[in-house]
Chains A and B, each alone.
Chain A
């Protein structure tokens, strides 16, 4: 029974990783670069969520749970625009500059975003106002319980991921994204505006990441500026676990990582759960560098 409870918790956490991993994997798909700034964009989602929530709670004092919807929209739009801006300013000029320069530039952006968050909002732990998060839950058996928050997290992430999957598979833009990730040169010859597609990837990835930041902060209730780094690295592990560049892979990888981590924390030791996550990453990369669903070996030499 305890196992089932752990699995439920693990899948909830896994869905956070999956949402953030999508951003990494999409960017890696089209640009073949690790967007080190993605974790910090995700963290900005948490801060912007807090700021806009405080603002909105100030206007509507009735405290309806629906006021989360405008917050989600504000956060998603702002972080998405920030993502596009980052790509335009820091990555686009470096597309032909080898493989080291974009890494440094991305790390630089991560420094800027983190330092900005720390200085604007302060280095202390931030707490979300209570009353926003739905309380209560469903007691399935005496030991197993799913809280309303967990349920809403799962529903929201499922909707977002299914929506993204359909978008990538069914729409014109989605098809173009897949084409660019396979071969940017040929895509250009086929009349695809590669720059625009990349911009759109940077709109969707960080947008989802921003929403994930908001949800994570709501779920845990408090966070600080190191959230981006710790969560970002694990989400990236999730992306590799599933096979980087592969969108369903990121979702599966995220879920898997969440479950493994929760089980490790529950049955081995919470102190070592991060170490276990990293060791799993290393083992996977040693034996199956393409991840669970990855077919092509991403070799950018």
Chain B
């Protein structure tokens, strides 16, 4: 119940928490070495990936188990535009977002009528198709199984972003923007429509919500955001490979959303700490890391099927009346 207490205080003092966390995020890399700065950068990128997938899985309630494909598309767009056309890396970012979003539209448009497990399996297949197309060097521009290397360092007004700490701050700018944008989105007309579709599609349709459009918007926004993360990856690593679209990557993203609590922004942060940051800390476990991750996934789901930090609505759905006897102080209602 300790998490519930933190949640309650979070709801009561939202600004104090937000400002505190932003200051913490700004100060965080200063005492750290380069390795942990990179870990912090990775955590941030995965939080963004988790938030982008959360739009699709958490808000709209659609299964997407091939999200890594859009991450890869973003990274490849940035890399190809930089390497083949010589466009400065930071200027490729909008195109990464655009291409990933366009693919998100094209790919999901025909399969939007599918539900549940069927959608899950089709998205897995799409992820694999993207990976295999990259491996097979489609159009001769993806560099095959080895991927692309020698991508330029991003250059910000003459400052070449080479050190991990620069990349951390670059990521942080986007991350803070993402969190605020998604918070706004959550309570917008579109956000409420997503949740309506998730809860009861037929009722949503009856109330005049264009469910197809709403679901498409979730995929387009989520995919585009994942494309941005891919561009950030290409900018930092300067080397990319088709492995970005591995099923494992998609599973990690999916698990971030579900372990943290679907439809919850703090849940995604907690989920990322569990799925990405913590395993990174346990490098010595190396070979057994996947096994531990698997055990953690099973145990977590049995102990807290609603996730670590669920949105209240999802918790009520899964736990039902169980929690009623133990009410959480509702501050903002």
Contacts and interface: CB of A to CB of B under 8 A. Distances in A.
A154 interface: no
Interface residues of A, number: 49
Contact of A300 (B115, B293, B306): B115
Given A99-B117, A115-B289, A274-B128, 13 more contacts: A28-B117, A97-B301, A98-B318, A100-B258, A100-B262, A103-B120, A103-B258, A109-B294, A109-B298, A229-B247, A272-B136, A278-B128, A289-B113
Contact of B115 (A28, A89, A113, A299): A299
Contact of B201 (A98, A274, A298, A301): A301
Contacts of A109: 294, 298
A286 interface: yes
A209 B231 CA distance: 41
Given A33-B117, A275-B129, A104 B254 contact: yes
Given A275-B133, A278-B128, A107 B255 contact: yes
Contacts of A104: 254-255, 258-259, 297, 300-301
B298 A90 contact: yes
A112 B118 contact: no
Interface string A82-96: 000000011001100
A112 B287 contact: no
B116 A108 contact: no
B321 interface: no
A105 B297 contact: yes
A298 B118 CA distance: 9
Interface string A223-266: 00000010001001100100000000000000000000000000
B298 A97 contact: no
Nearest to A93: B302
The 7 closest A-B pairs by CB, nearest first: A108-B297, A111-B294, A97-B305, A115-B291, A112-B294, A115-B290, A278-B125
A146 interface: no
Main SS class of interface, B:
helix
Contacts of B288: 115, 119
Contacts of B126: 278, 282
A281 B291 contact: no
B237 interface: no
A118 interface: yes
B118 A108 contact: no
Contacts of A285: 111, 114, 118, 121-122
B296 interface: yes
Nearest to A116: B291
A298 B117 contact: yes
Interface string A283-300: 001100100000000111
B254 to A, nearest CB: 7
A113 B297 CA distance: 13
B317 interface: yes
A208 interface: no
Contacts of B110: 282, 286
